[in-house]
């Protein structure tokens, strides 16, 4: 025997279909709002898209690449050497933005899509570099072979992009010890990157506060032909022993405004 479901309809012609259409619109609106909520939560606590505007991380990242950044680093997972991280400007690393923000309907749509995580962040206020030194590390350049050393161990950097083969890993010599709660970061396009070296004379000494780290770049999502997971090159830092405090694993979530 076939079961029936009571609909509560009285069979008054078009009234039932009209009410059904309104219910359909209501359900569609609920689904849309739930999807936006999920997208916002994912963007706030799990992953976030960003856009690459400069050549400082060539060839690992190229201009106009879109990347996915995991927000679980450093809030859940500790930062490791070799990882590519996005961080807020520690202060004075970036010039004041010259581009005027979109206004009107276009600006509202752009803001909304960015807010819910459906559009990548622009470059205003954020930088992306590779972590070379953790708290307590002594980072030097260069040894007699033109290599960086971390705590006295030479670093092989297969991700490095230099203007000419055989050039040292940095055209600028340095010898720094990373303070507690900070990082030493460098660009892969080493001779064309305004990284920690370029700000050694600034108030922060070129060090990036861990609290300013937004997350770890894990994936190139666009263009399709460049889709790839980003390597942290753990093997490059094998043998490097920690010299100071470990990176804190429990830090407040940095949610850029």
The strand pair at 47-51 and 153-154 is best described as unpaired
Q: What is the separation, in whole angstroms, between the first and last Cα of the chain? A: 60
Give the span between the Cα atoms of 146 and 168, in whole angstroms: 4
How far is residue 48's CA from residue 37's CA, in Å, rounded to a whole number?
14
- Measured CA to CA, the distance from residue 211 to residue 253 in angstroms comes to 8
Q: Which residues are catalytic?
A: 56, 129
Pairing of strands 228-229, 84-88: unpaired
What is the sign of the dihedral through the CA atoms of 77, 80, 86 and 91? Answer: positive
Which three-class secondary structure state does DSSP give residue 70? strand
């Amino acid at each position: 025997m076939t079961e029936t479901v009571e609909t509560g309809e009285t069979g008054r012609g078009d009234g039932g279909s009209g009410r059904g259409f309104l219910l359909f619109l209501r359900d569609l609106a609920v689904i849309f709002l739930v999807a936006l909520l999920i997208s916002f939560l994912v963007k706030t606590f799990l992953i976030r898209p960003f856009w690459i505007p400069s050549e400082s991380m060539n060839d690992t990242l190229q201009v106009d690449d879109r990347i996915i950044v995991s927000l679980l680093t450093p809030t859940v997972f500790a930062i490791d050497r070799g990882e590519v991280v996005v961080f807020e400007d520690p202060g004075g690393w970036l010039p004041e933005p010259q581009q005027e923000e979109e206004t009107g309907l276009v600006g509202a749509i752009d803001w909304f899509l960015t807010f819910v995580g459906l559009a990548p962040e622009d470059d205003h206020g954020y930088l992306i570099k590779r972590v070379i030194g953790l708290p307590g590390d002594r980072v030097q350049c260069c040894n007699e072979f033109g290599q960086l050393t971390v705590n006295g161990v030479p670093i092989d950097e297969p991700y490095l992009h230099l203007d000419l083969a055989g050039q040292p890993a940095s055209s600028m010599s340095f010898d720094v010890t990373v303070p507690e709660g900070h990082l030493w970061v460098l660009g892969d396009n080493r001779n064309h990157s305004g990284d920690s070296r370029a700000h050694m004379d600034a108030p922060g000494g070129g060090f990036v506060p861990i609290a300013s780290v937004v997350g770890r770049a894990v994936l190139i999502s666009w263009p399709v032909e460049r889709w790839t997971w980003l390597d942290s090159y753990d093997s490059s830092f094998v043998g490097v022993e920690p010299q100071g405090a470990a990176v804190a694993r429990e830090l407040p979530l940095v949610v850029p405004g």
